[in-house]
Chain A
Amino acid sequence: MDLMQILSIIIPTAIFAAAPLILTALGGVFSERSGVVNIGLEGLMMMGAFVGAVFTYFGETWGFGAASPWFSFVIAIILGALFSLLHAVASITFRADQVVSGVALNFLAAGLTIFLVKKIFEAGQTPYITHRIFRGDVPFLSEIPIIGPLLFTKAYITSYLAIALAFVVWFVIYKTSFGLRLRSVGEHPMAADTMGISVTKMRYVAVMLSGAFAGLGGAVYATSISGNFTHATIAGQGFMALAAMIFGKWHPIGALGAALFFGLAQSLSITGQQIPLLKEIPDVFLLISPYVLTILALAGFVGRADAPKAIGKPYEKGKR
């Protein structure tokens, strides 16, 4: 088996596995850049996956056909943003500990989604959807030698959407006045407040954006990877997205890179059995590698990662 063959197994799987992580990590960037820790990404993603599976299924029964997953994406974005409002209200308005509120959000999503699945379908999981996100060759680009077969053949369109959104988010955060305001309330909320920026409003918007992105991430996971929703569909992907965001140093492009890298690690643990050299390595090392690497990155072995300055602190007007 030559290198090209090996790469053509690993790389498409990596990009495929990374898409939900990229989207959710981008959501995390918005929230944390505004100074609100979002441990609740896991729960938001769970909500998104639930909505993705359920509304794709409904869309199919209502005759939407292949458009059903896209219909479910819209709903997942809206419901994700609304669901994240709970985190926003608790941690911004009522000054709850942001980590605690995020944990509560995860609990709530885990309970609520399965409760609703059991109520709607009278079973522990949703039915499998028929119209998954399709894979296709990108016209022209797939003809390019070497890169074409690796990156643009039999690819999921959602993966490109996720990668493109990373650049959009980068533009929004670093090149627009909205992004400047967002970063300023995360770094020095009092200064931002003095300049007439509403800290509360900016943080609400940021948390809701994180909910929208994580909801989309979850829906993409359900419609491209799992195909249905059970209690085990989202089991740690949200935390892995959180890790990707930190590993990417709270930067959209960094988060994109980290998510792709974690996707690679995941794809190695899935496809490793087909590759001669990797067969010898026990599964467990590949499974734990994203987590261990994140810890090493934070410890400064892979470059220093500094959080936004005001992260985790509720803003109280007039308090020094």
Chain B
Amino acid sequence: MKLQKVLFKLIVPIIAVMLGLLIGGIIMLSSGYDPVLAYTALFNGIFSDSYFIGETVRQMTPLILSGIAVAFAFRTGLFNIGVEGQLLVGWLASVYVGIAVEGLPAFIHVPLAILAGAVAGAIWGFVPGLLKARFRVHEVITTIMLNYVALHVTNSIIRAYLLAPGERTESIQPSASLASPFLQEITNFSRMHYGFIVALLAAALMWYILWKTTAGYELRAVGFNEHASNYAGINVSKNIILSMCISGGFAGVAGAMQGLGTYQYMTINAAFTGVGFDGIAVALLGGNGAIGIVLAALLFGGLKIGALNMQAVAKVPPELITIVIALIIFFVASSYLVHWLRNRINKRGKI
């Protein structure tokens, strides 16, 4: 019985991914591209070279963290669409600490810069949390609005105080960097960095907080039923704020991965990075669980890196992958369809 439940949990995401790729193939076919060639190139663009594997790991690192951020809030019944904004402020804070603090050894400087990102993200998450808890303002709207505030504010701070040639900040000190010549060398000089360890630790941390601590129990209880939690003596307001802060903190660390790992600086962003929004897809496909999120981030990270090779070989625009990801979200969200089909089959008394 338990095995059946696990299988059923797996079946929805797997069907969703397959349907997404299938419709992606139909779109390619109907617009004159060769789907077999394209998907072969996609596959090769993920696995055929250690460079691609390194890039995939680099791409999935912030996706794991933004996925965790979305999932953590979701477990408390909150929809944090503000991961994008929290990521931006976290990115800026970590890069600032990376630039401004001098003379620290790496084993203090790196954690300090990551922590700065987490704190900045947590503060950005605190605002919608407080507004939800105190004024009952729906967090979806406030977090969307705060994304834009974060975009404009971080850009103007960089312009005013941290500007270096090329619409960006100075590079961070080497002591704050997550980049690793060793990892780059074994992956044929990709931009892979130690951030993936941080991301995996964060996934473990999320699992630990939610399932092994009293605070996590309360957070989940509020997510299941606010009124029952309140009746049982759980401080709902406190938990809403706490959840948004922790969620924002994870998002801030995702930004720190960009700043300390991939880029070593922060650019002036004309538009959103998209990593925060992709986090919604990752959390959803991963079923809001730690292991699921890592796997979903691996899939989406791989698809995004493979898309580049797909474009080079089969001339298919990489936006096709955005379409496929969107379709996967649709299908996972419409899982009622699968339930309905299963009930239909059950009613007939077979399987």
**What is A's interface to B at a CB cutoff of 8 Å?**
37, 39, 86, 89-90, 94-97, 99-101, 103-108, 110-112, 114-116, 118-119, 231-232, 235-236, 239, 242-243, 246, 282-284, 287-288, 291-292, 294-295, 298-300, 307
Question: Do A101 and B330 form a contact, CB below 8 Å, given A291-B149, A295-B142?
Answer: yes
B residues in contact with A112, CB < 8 Å: 319, 323
Residue A97 contacts which of B27, B270, B319, B333 (CB distance < 8 angstroms)?
Answer: B333
Closest chain-B Cβ to A99's Cβ sits at a distance in Å of 6
A residues in contact with B142, CB < 8 Å: 295, 298
Q: Using a CB-CB cutoff of 8 Å, which residues 139-176 of chain B contact chain A?
A: 140-142, 144-146, 148-149, 152-153, 155-156
Closest chain-A Cβ to B42's Cβ sits at a distance in Å of 15
Instruction: Decide: A119 and B141 in contact? CB cutoff 8 A.
Output: no
> In the complex, A201 Cα to B152 Cα: how many Å?
41
Which of B57-65, B130-138, B217-225, B229-237 is found at the contact surface with chain A? B130-138
Instruction: Decide: B330 and A115 in contact? CB cutoff 8 A.
Output: no
Residue B281 contacts which of A37, A107, A295 (CB distance < 8 angstroms)?
Answer: A107
Closest chain-A Cβ to B152's Cβ sits at a distance in Å of 4
> In the complex, A6 Cα to B336 Cα: how many Å?
56
B53 at the A/B interface (Cβ < 8 Å)? Answer: no
Instruction: Decide: A110 and B322 in contact? CB cutoff 8 A.
Output: yes
Closest chain-B Cβ to A257's Cβ sits at a distance in Å of 18
- The B interface is mostly helix, strand or loop, or mixed, namely helix
**Can you list 5 contacts pairing A with B, beta carbon distance less than 8 Å?**
A101-B333, A103-B329, A107-B277, A107-B326, A107-B329
B residues in contact with A282, CB < 8 Å: 156
Closest chain-A Cβ to B83's Cβ sits at a distance in Å of 12
B residues in contact with A97, CB < 8 Å: 333
Q: Using a CB-CB cutoff of 8 Å, which residues 50-104 of chain B contact chain A?
A: 79, 81
A residues in contact with B327, CB < 8 Å: 104, 108
B320 at the A/B interface (Cβ < 8 Å)? Answer: yes
Instruction: Decide: B317 and A94 in contact? CB cutoff 8 A.
Output: no
Q: Using a CB-CB cutoff of 8 Å, which residues 101-143 of chain B contact chain A?
A: 131, 135, 137-138, 140-142
Extra inter-chain contacts (15) besides given A118-B317, A298-B142, CB under 8 Å = A39-B81, A39-B140, A94-B334, A104-B330, A107-B323, A108-B323, A108-B327, A114-B322, A115-B27, A115-B317, A232-B271, A239-B144, A242-B141, A288-B152, A298-B141
Closest chain-A Cβ to B303's Cβ sits at a distance in Å of 12
B346 at the A/B interface (Cβ < 8 Å)? Answer: no
Residue A115 contacts which of B277, B320, B333 (CB distance < 8 angstroms)?
Answer: B320
B280 at the A/B interface (Cβ < 8 Å)? Answer: yes
> In the complex, A307 Cα to B325 Cα: how many Å?
30
B31 at the A/B interface (Cβ < 8 Å)? Answer: yes
B11 at the A/B interface (Cβ < 8 Å)? Answer: no
Instruction: Decide: A90 and B334 in contact? CB cutoff 8 A.
Output: yes
> In the complex, A154 Cα to B326 Cα: how many Å?
42
> In the complex, A287 Cα to B159 Cα: how many Å?
15
B321 at the A/B interface (Cβ < 8 Å)? Answer: yes
B residues in contact with A100, CB < 8 Å: 280, 284, 329, 333
User: Chain B: which residue is nearest A89 at the CB level?
Assistant: B334
> In the complex, A295 Cα to B81 Cα: how many Å?
15
B186 at the A/B interface (Cβ < 8 Å)? Answer: no
> In the complex, A94 Cα to B81 Cα: how many Å?
22
> In the complex, A299 Cα to B322 Cα: how many Å?
35
B337 at the A/B interface (Cβ < 8 Å)? Answer: yes
User: Chain B: which residue is nearest A292 at the CB level?
Assistant: B149
Instruction: Decide: B145 and A118 in contact? CB cutoff 8 A.
Output: no
User: Chain B: which residue is nearest A287 at the CB level?
Assistant: B152
Closest chain-B Cβ to A142's Cβ sits at a distance in Å of 36
> In the complex, A114 Cα to B323 Cα: how many Å?
10
Instruction: Decide: B329 and A115 in contact? CB cutoff 8 A.
Output: no
In the A-B complex, the 4 residue pairs with the smallest Cβ-Cβ separation, listed nearest first, are A111-B322, A107-B326, A96-B333, A108-B326
